[in-house]
Amino acid sequence: MIMKHWYKIISVFIIFYTLVWGLLNPVPRLDILNETIRNVYYHVPIWFAMLFMMLVSLIFSIKSLSTNKLADDIKAYNAAVVGFFFSIPGLLTGSVWAKFTWTTWWTFQDPKLNGVAISILIYLAYFILRFSIDDELKRARISAVYNVFAFVMMNVFIMILPRLTDSLHPGNGGNPAFAKYDLDSNMRMVFYPAVVGWLLFSFWLFQIKNRISFLNNKLDD
């Protein structure tokens, strides 16, 4: 039983640790940010989980192209759904944080925000593309090819372009992310576990979604 559920147990413990210690641990005193710097423990790992799920989706899309199995296609779709689901709290938390530090809910000055908006539209198009094709095999192939394109475009929009221009986000505008000025060692103690915890948690949601869709498929047969 433990062998099957180890990653879920670890993710729950790690996330619980980050919820408690993330609010208690000493953080750098900074103007404007003040206590909101703790949002790094919650807002950023959510985005990492989204990126991770999109990567899982890409892997299963490529796999479905080589194996031609419908199961892989369904997994790719489920991973994209979970990733999409994580992008919504990511956007909302970012928006709230921006309101109180950058004084606006949304700014078009920041390439990362624009990139994220475009990426979300790209993945929306992926879902619409899937719904528009009735033939299962055709749907698997076309949406897998599109998914490869979508993943690459998302990385261009939220990882590459923001680094080429000035951005309000730390670690952009030429600097590598999480340079020594952005995170001190106290924050790393919470931030890195938080990323791992949320990645595992997203994988748990992905597995639940898979099991439900396989049950659904069996029901259709």
- Tell me which residues touch other proteins (CB under 8 A): 12, 15-16, 19-20, 23-24, 29-35, 204-205, 208, 211-212, 215, 218
Nearer to other proteins, 91 or 205 (CB): 205
Exposure string over 35-67, b if 16+ CB within 10 A, otherwise e: eebbbbbbbbbbbbbbbbbbebbbebbbbbbee
Q: How far is the CB of 186 from other proteins (least distance, A)?
A: 13
Nearest to 194 by CA among 22, 73, 4: 22
Please check whether residue 159 is in contact with residue 117, taking contact to mean a CB–CB distance below 8 angstroms. no
Nearer to other proteins, 89 or 173 (CB): 89
Nearer to other proteins, 8 or 63 (CB): 8
Nearer to other proteins, 100 or 105 (CB): 100
Between CA 132 and CA 117 the distance in angstroms is: 23
> Which distant-in-sequence residues (6+ apart) come within 8 Å of 119 by Cβ?
87, 150, 153, 154, 157, 158
Q: How far is the CB of 102 from other proteins (least distance, A)?
A: 17
Q: How far is the CB of 132 from other proteins (least distance, A)?
A: 29
Q: How far is the CB of 24 from other proteins (least distance, A)?
A: 7
